Amino acid sequence: MKSVFLRVVKYLLSIIILLAILIFALWAYPLADPLAQKAEDQSYLIQHINIVDVTNDSILANHSIYIERDRIISIAPSDSFPDIPNAMKIDGTGQFALSGLWDMHSHLAFQIAPQVIMPLHIANGVTNIRDMQGIVHINEERMQWRNAIKAEQLLGPRLIGFADEIVGANYDEQDVVALVNRTSNDPKTFIKVYSGILEDRYFQLAEEANKKGVVFAGHYPNAINPIDASNAGQRSFEHAHLFIKHANPLAEQNRAYYQAMYADDENSDIDRPSPIDMLAGFDESKFDELVDVMVKNNTYFCPTHITRQYEAFASDEAFLNDPNLAYIPPMVSMIWNDDVSGMQDYAQQDGYQEYLQDFYQKGLELTGIAHQRGVKVLAGTDSYDPYSFPGISLHRELAELVKAGLSPAEALSCATINPAEYFNVSQDYGSLEEGKVADLLILNQNPLKDIQNTTSINKLVFNGNLYEQQDLDNMKSYVQENASGIKGLSISVKMFFRLMTDNRH
C-alpha cells in the first residue's frame, strides 16, 4: 500500500513539475516584435476622390488632396488642381475620403497591447483613442507607447488622452487630493470615475480637479445624482444606462441603496429597486431635466451601445460565435466566457431576458433623443469588454448610433468632429481640411448612404504615410497569429502573471 501511495505521489509531482516547466517556457517565450509605422519620405496626391464632408452631410465630388509629411497641404477640385510631379499619385476615382476615426472609450488593457490590440485599431481606421484604464496598471507603458507612436516608431492609434488614475473601483481608498496632484503633472491624462465613489470623496475630487484644471470623466456614480455630477464638472458620462437609471421614481432609492452598500452600512434596510421596475417607471420629465443640465454644462455622453447589445444577446449563439474571436487571446476568451455565463444566469431570472432586450432598445432611443436635444455624443466601444473588438467594434457602434436615430453623418461626427472638440484639438484632427494632420480612410463606398460602408476600407493614410489593403490585412494577420497557438498561450501566461503582480492600489 505504501509503495502504491509513493508511486501516486511521484506521478503527481512529475505532472506538477512538467506543468511548471511548460508554464515557465510559455512565460519565457519571446513576444513578437511590435509593428512599426511606415516612415516614408513621400508626398501624396490623391486625385479624383469624393470627400465625405461630415459637418455639412455632403460629398465634395471629384477633389484632389495633396499631403506632405504628416499634413494636408491643399484640397481643391481635381479639374483645377495643379500637377505635383514629385508626389505619389493615388487614383481615388469612385472612392470616398473620410477623416480618421476615434474610439472614445477604449481599453488597451494589458502590457501586450502592441501585439494584439493596437494593430486592429489601425487596420480598421481608428487613428486616435481615449483610453479609459487597463485591466492591469499600464501607465508607464502607455507613456512609452504614446511617445513611440508620435515618433512614428510604434504602430498604434494616438493616445490623445488616457486615464492615469481610477477612483471609485473595488477597494479604492486613494487620497483624492493626492490623486489629482499626480494627474495634474501630465495634461494629456485624466481621472476616470468609476461607479463606487461616495459623495464626500467625489465632490472633494471635483473641487480639487477644477482648481488644478484636471479632467475627470467616466461612469455615472451610482450613489450620486448625475445632475449634481454634471454641475460639479464631470466631463463625460459613459454607458447607456445613464438616463434609464436616473429618469425614474425609484432613482433616489437606488442611490440610497448604493450609498449604504459602498459605506458598508450593515444596519441599512434599504432594498435595491428592481431594474425591471426602474425601466418600466421611466420618467420623461427627469430625463429632460438631466439632458438640459448636460447641454448647459457641455457634459459629453459616450453610450457604448455595444456593451448593452452584448448583454441583450448573451444567449444568442449566432452572436457568440463571432469570427472575430480569432483576434482574442485565450485568457481574454476565458474571461469573456465567464462573463457570458454570468449574464446568461442573470437573464434566466423571471422576466430578465425581456428586460435586457428592452433596456438595450430604450438606451438607443434615449441616445437619439438626447442627441436631438443637443447632448454631444461620443462614439466608444468599451473595447476588450466581452464581444467588443478593438477597431472592429467602432464600426458597429456607429451602426448602433444610426439605430438610435442619428443620420450617418451625425454618427460619423461622434467619431470624428466631437472627439476632436472634446480634447480641444480641432485645429489638427476631426475633419479633412488644409493644415490638419493627414489621417484619412479611403473607402470603396459612400458612408453617408449607408453607415456600414465605413468598413469598406481600401487604403489608409496615417501620420502622412500610405497603407495599402495588403498592409491592413497584414496587421490583422499579425494579431491573429499572436492570439493563437503557442504565441496565444504565451501571451495569456504573460497576461496572467501581470495580473498577479499588478501594483495598482
Reduced to 3 states, what is the DSSP secondary structure of residue 217? Answer: strand
Reduced to 3 states, what is the DSSP secondary structure of residue 86? Answer: coil
Q: How far apart are CA 400 and CA 305, in angstroms?
A: 6
Predicted local confidence at residue 267, as pLDDT: 56
The two counts, helices (H) then strands (E), for the chain are 20, 15
CA distances from 243 to 220, 275, 317, 422, 502 (A): 10, 13, 30, 21, 34
Please give the backbone phi and psi of residue 387, each rounded to the nearest 5 degrees, phi first. 60, 30
Predicted local confidence at residue 445, as pLDDT: 98
- Walking along the chain (505 residues) 10 residues at a time, the average pLDDT comes out as 63 73 79 92 95 98 96 96 94 98 96 97 98 88 95 95 88 87 93 93 96 95 96 97 95 93 76 94 97 98 96 95 97 95 94 95 98 98 96 98 98 98 97 97 98 98 95 98 95 90 64
Of 304, 288, 296, 309, the C-alpha closest to 414 is 304
Predicted local confidence at residue 6, as pLDDT: 63
159 contact partners, CB below 8 Å, separation of at least 6: 129, 131, 142, 145, 146, 149, 188
What are the structural domains, with CATH classification, of the chain? 101-434 (3.20.20.140)
Taking the alpha carbons of 148, 149, 150, 152 in that order, is the dihedral positive or negative? Answer: positive
Q: How far apart are CA 60 and CA 448, in angstroms?
A: 12
Predicted local confidence at residue 505, as pLDDT: 46
Predicted local confidence at residue 5, as pLDDT: 61
155 contact partners, CB below 8 Å, separation of at least 6: 34, 35, 36, 37, 114, 118, 119, 122, 149, 475
Q: How many residues does the chain have?
A: 505
Beta bridge partners of 189: 162
41: Cα separation from own chain's centroid:
32
Amino acid letter for position 253? Q
Of 383, 417, 414, the C-alpha closest to 400 is 414
Report which DSSP code applies to 504.
-
Predicted local confidence at residue 169, as pLDDT: 80
Predicted local confidence at residue 26, as pLDDT: 75
What cell does 44 get? 501624396
Predicted local confidence at residue 319, as pLDDT: 95
Exposure of 173 by Cβ count < 10 A (0-12 exposed, 13-18 middle, 19+ buried)? exposed
> How many CA atoms lie within 13 Å of 169's alpha carbon, on the beta-carbon side?
12
Q: Are 125 and 101 contacting, i.e. CB atoms less than 8 angstroms apart? A: yes
CA-CA-CA-CA torsion for 444, 449, 452, 455, nearest 10 degrees?
Answer: 20
Q: How far apart are CA 427 and CA 433, in angstroms?
A: 9
What does the pLDDT look like over 357-408, one tens digit per residue?
999 999 999 999 999 999 999 999 999 999 999 999 999 999 999 999 999 9
Reduced to 3 states, what is the DSSP secondary structure of residue 267? Answer: coil
Enter the pTM of the model. 0.94
What does the pLDDT look like over 25-64, one tens digit per residue?
877 889 899 999 998 889 999 999 999 999 999 999 999 9
